[in-house]
A and B are shown apart, each in its own frame.
Chain A
């Protein structure tokens, strides 16, 4: 269970995330949708401890995260796949995944990672920076997964990636959730991708949650209206 209450984030004097509260359950995929500049990435960075924030409650499975630095949050079960992937370009694919092994229960890269992403096994000795965008995205997800997270945060995983790989990523995310019993929180602008993976959709606008729906009850046209400029 991932719980956030009254989260506020400010850049200098201007507050950009206003009192956001939400809960997400294990084995649930929660999508946060919104246009550019509405606060998705800011929200994710603050959850990860990259940006300073204040909140009245921030817990993973009952363990408090408030005031923790990024690496401490990772140790407590939060993993992060940032926008733009941010893999380590000069490390090999294998080394990239191994950076996530500092925490969590694994001593070496578990086989299931390579069975989820066979392409990474084929390319494990190549430099991360020489992979295509889609492959880098898979690498970033693999790196996050080896920390054995309870909550996986994915910031716009489909940005700049070709449609066939977007489908693969959706499939993998659904598999991971089945396999690991984890909470996935994903920020997105692409509704079709979201509909394939999410159980619940929240719309963010100007740093506030303005709409929430279960997938079954989603009115696609209404969400689309929020997403178009």
Chain B
């Protein structure tokens, strides 16, 4: 590291840190959906990455549509794309729960296989409809470029936008889960499904909406993802492992844990990536994670009560 001056090092740290924050944003959006679904139904959704890709492709389609038919709306389409990605992924999630998942409750291994199969099917569908080449939506101009607080630091605007979006979604999820009566239903069902039914909660409906919500958030992650990288049929599967790591490390039922763990993992990876190769960075992150999980098997922030 002797080749860098102090000023260069701070700049590198700041910029790599910000790359990490973009990664953190996407990981967090993915992990929120996955954690909600896993916490609520004990279903490990292997197709979660494909729901993200679905959101990304929805954004791509909408951008193509806007560019050919309403070019004057280009600066604004992205907001609609976020909503459309949420809706499309959410509706597909709802149908998936209805057609597939609800028949497999209490059979965790079978849901694992079934959702993995679903992920393969979805990947092939992406390949058939969009081709195997990676695509990128045409982004509005205001998302391009970067902000330069000093001569040597470039902070990309798309990264800041994604961070803002993630913050909004996280607060919305927090409000929904901890302040609304629907969230109370979800948390009660998470803890004791049978008893929730016996106090008057329609647990099956809660399941279906939760699954749809989790997939919808993955769709938003997809829309955000298009601003920082291009989308291919296998994009989702590249992110799913990291997302699982975030959920396990954070402790499944804790929103704050998910945020902290997404931040730690994303930052550790992107800062290490600059100094050592990216696979070594991953190895180091994973090793640290394993050691921490050996000491705290329930994750970083599992809440403690009498059992």
* A residues neighboring B (CB under 8 Å): 48-50, 69-71, 74-75, 79-80, 82, 86, 88-91, 95, 98-104, 127-130, 143-144, 147
**Contact residue among A90, A99, A143 (Cβ-Cβ distance under 8 Å from B303):** A90
| B185, CB-defined interface residue at 8 Å | yes
Chain B residues with CB under 8 Å of A144's CB are 199
In order of increasing CB-CB distance, the 5 nearest A-B pairs are A129-B305, A70-B197, A74-B200, A103-B200, A86-B195
Does more than half of chain B's interface fall in helix, strand or loop, or is it mixed?
Answer: helix
Assess whether A99 is in contact with B184, with CB atoms less than 8 Å apart.
yes
B206: nearest residue on chain A (CB-CB)? Answer: A71
21 interchain pairs, CB-CB under 8 A: A69-B197, A74-B199, A74-B200, A79-B199, A80-B199, A82-B198, A86-B192, A86-B194, A88-B188, A88-B195, A89-B306, A90-B187, A90-B305, A91-B187, A95-B187, A99-B185, A101-B181, A102-B200, A103-B200, A128-B305, A130-B305
Chain A residues with CB under 8 Å of B197's CB are 49-50, 69-71, 74
Assess whether B203 is in contact with A89, with CB atoms less than 8 Å apart.
no
Chain A residues with CB under 8 Å of B303's CB are 90, 127
A129 and B187 CA atoms in complex are apart in Å by 14
A143 and B195 CA atoms in complex are apart in Å by 11
Chain B residues with CB under 8 Å of A89's CB are 191, 305-307
Assess whether A71 is in contact with B305, with CB atoms less than 8 Å apart.
no
A35 and B202 CA atoms in complex are apart in Å by 33
Assess whether B191 is in contact with A88, with CB atoms less than 8 Å apart.
yes
A50 and B197 CA atoms in complex are apart in Å by 8
Assess whether B184 is in contact with A98, with CB atoms less than 8 Å apart.
yes
Chain A residues with CB under 8 Å of B199's CB are 74, 79-80, 99-100, 102, 143-144, 147
| B11, CB-defined interface residue at 8 Å | no
Chain A residues with CB under 8 Å of B196's CB are 99
A88: nearest residue on chain B (CB-CB)? Answer: B191
In the complex, which residues 208-252 of chain B have their Cβ closer than 8 Å to any Cβ of chain A? none
B202: nearest residue on chain A (CB-CB)? Answer: A71
A130 and B181 CA atoms in complex are apart in Å by 23
> Contact flags (1/0) for B166-207 with A, using CB distance below 8 Å?
000000000000000100110110011011111111110000
| B253, CB-defined interface residue at 8 Å | yes
In the complex where A90-B305, A129-B305, A130-B305 touch, is A99 in contact with B198 (Cβ < 8 A)? no
A79 and B195 CA atoms in complex are apart in Å by 11
**Contact residue among B184, B187, B201, B306 (Cβ-Cβ distance under 8 Å from A71):** B201
Chain A residues with CB under 8 Å of B307's CB are 89, 129
A136 and B253 CA atoms in complex are apart in Å by 22
Assess whether B181 is in contact with A98, with CB atoms less than 8 Å apart.
yes
B200: nearest residue on chain A (CB-CB)? Answer: A74
Additional A-B contacts beyond A70-B198, A88-B192, A147-B199 (13; CB < 8 A): A48-B198, A49-B197, A50-B198, A70-B194, A79-B199, A82-B195, A86-B192, A86-B195, A90-B305, A91-B188, A91-B191, A99-B200, A100-B200
A71 and B196 CA atoms in complex are apart in Å by 8
A97: nearest residue on chain B (CB-CB)? Answer: B199
A81: nearest residue on chain B (CB-CB)? Answer: B198
Chain B residues with CB under 8 Å of A70's CB are 194, 197-198, 200
Rounded to whole Å, the gap between the CB of B179 and the closest CB of chain A is: 11
Chain B residues with CB under 8 Å of A101's CB are 181
Assess whether A99 is in contact with B253, with CB atoms less than 8 Å apart.
no
A32 and B197 CA atoms in complex are apart in Å by 24
Rounded to whole Å, the gap between the CB of A17 and the closest CB of chain B is: 18
Rounded to whole Å, the gap between the CB of B203 and the closest CB of chain A is: 7
Chain A residues with CB under 8 Å of B192's CB are 86, 88
Assess whether A102 is in contact with B201, with CB atoms less than 8 Å apart.
yes
Rounded to whole Å, the gap between the CB of A160 and the closest CB of chain B is: 13
Chain A residues with CB under 8 Å of B305's CB are 89-90, 127-130
A143: nearest residue on chain B (CB-CB)? Answer: B199
